[in-house]
Amino acid sequence: MNRRTFIKTLCAVAAATTLCGSQTIACASGAVRTVDDEDLKDYLHSMANFDLPHMGDIILINTQLALLKSSLKRLRRIQRTVGFGNFCILSFDEALLYARQNSSIGSFTKKELSFLDYTFSFDASNYGFYGERTISNITSRVSKKDLVKIQGSGNFLYRGQPHETYKSIKKLLGKKVYLTSGVRGTMKQFILFLSKAAANNGNLSLASRSLAPPGYSFHGVGDFDVGEAGLGVANFSIKFARTETCMQLREQGYLKLRYPRENMLGVRFEPWHIKVKDIKL
């Protein structure tokens, strides 16, 4: 069995499943199959080196790469126009409206719209990403009445358990911890995913190992990220796992990780990602 065959048949395995010492894989269908040690070694290698290209990655070239870059430039112009906080919850239709109404942005071309629609609809398991789809329609909207803006962060959280969980974390850790990323609408996930791909020569598979493709992010339905004050961008690295903040969150039971170590979802380890338990798709 070669690596690509292995990756394509992994299916959507439960996030808590680990590879260590395991010789079988339980797929979404319920079937359990034996996996060769070399397959496991190959998968673990690609995830340990998530930020490097690997054989079998889906990489855009020529016209498709040009469309990625032109769409991304337009998204960035929209983000600058509406503001970073507002862009987090901007819907697809709202983005198109801003583009049409602002000459400094310019309307999306038909090819760019087709590219965005195709990217959203694409089955992310082809990238090697096996998380669940959380948003089924590219035009889904985030209702502002369901949100709470978190002061000083530029981010929003959903009312209810997401907000209550964050308040509990703040009560526990105070100024030491802060919200690094909250609710993300479809357009926010687009700009993150496409930015990562563009920075890596159009490699969509590489991007998916760090960022859920549009339509697959749990930030769209309640999860959020936290960081330790003073750590900066290192909050989105393995360094966060060694912080006092992370250790206290773990001790208090807040780190019910969406993407634990050696998960079978094709996603790097994310100790900063707070999984909100009551999310039901």
For residue 177, list its beta bridge partners.
Answer: 228
- Report the CATH number of the 144-182+217-281 domain: 3.30.1380.10
Separation between Cα atoms, residue 191 and residue 203, nearest integer Å:
15
Please count the other Cβ atoms lying within 10 Å of the Cβ belonging to residue 107: 15
What is the sign of the dihedral through the CA atoms of 194, 243, 279 and 263? positive
Please give the structure tokens belonging to residue 219.
């930030």
Q: How would residue 192 be classed by pLDDT, with cut points 50, 70 and 90?
A: very high
Per residue in 265-279, pLDDT (tens digit) is 889 889 899 998 656
**Which range, 4-8, 28-32, 166-170, has the best average confidence (pLDDT)?**
166-170
**What rounded mean pLDDT belongs to the chain?**
86
What pTM did the predictor assign? 0.85
Question: Mean pLDDT, to the nearest integer, of 221-238?
Answer: 94
Question: Mean pLDDT, to the nearest integer, of 7-13?
Answer: 40
Q: What percent of the chain has pLDDT over 90?
A: 71
pLDDT at 186 over 90: yes
List the chain domain ranges: 1-48, 56-142+186-211, 144-182+217-281
Separation between Cα atoms, residue 13 and residue 10, nearest integer Å:
7
CB 262 within 8 A of CB 18: yes
Please give the structure tokens belonging to residue 5.
């065959």
The angle formed by the CA atoms of residues 113, 117 and 123, to the nearest 5 degrees, is: 155
Per residue in 18-32, pLDDT (tens digit) is 323 333 333 333 444
Strands 24-26 and 273-274: unpaired
* Residue scoring higher pLDDT (238 or 106): 106
Residue whose C-alpha is closest to residue 89's, from 149, 45, 29, 36: 149
Backbone phi, psi, residue 181, to 5°: -160, 125
SS3 per-residue string spanning 181-213: ECCCCHHHHHHHHHHHHHCCCCEHHHHHCCCCC
Output the CA–CA distances (angstroms, integers) from residue 85 to 34, 114, 123, 149, in the order listed: 47, 26, 29, 9
Q: What is the pLDDT of residue 276?
A: 86
Q: What is the pLDDT of residue 241?
A: 92
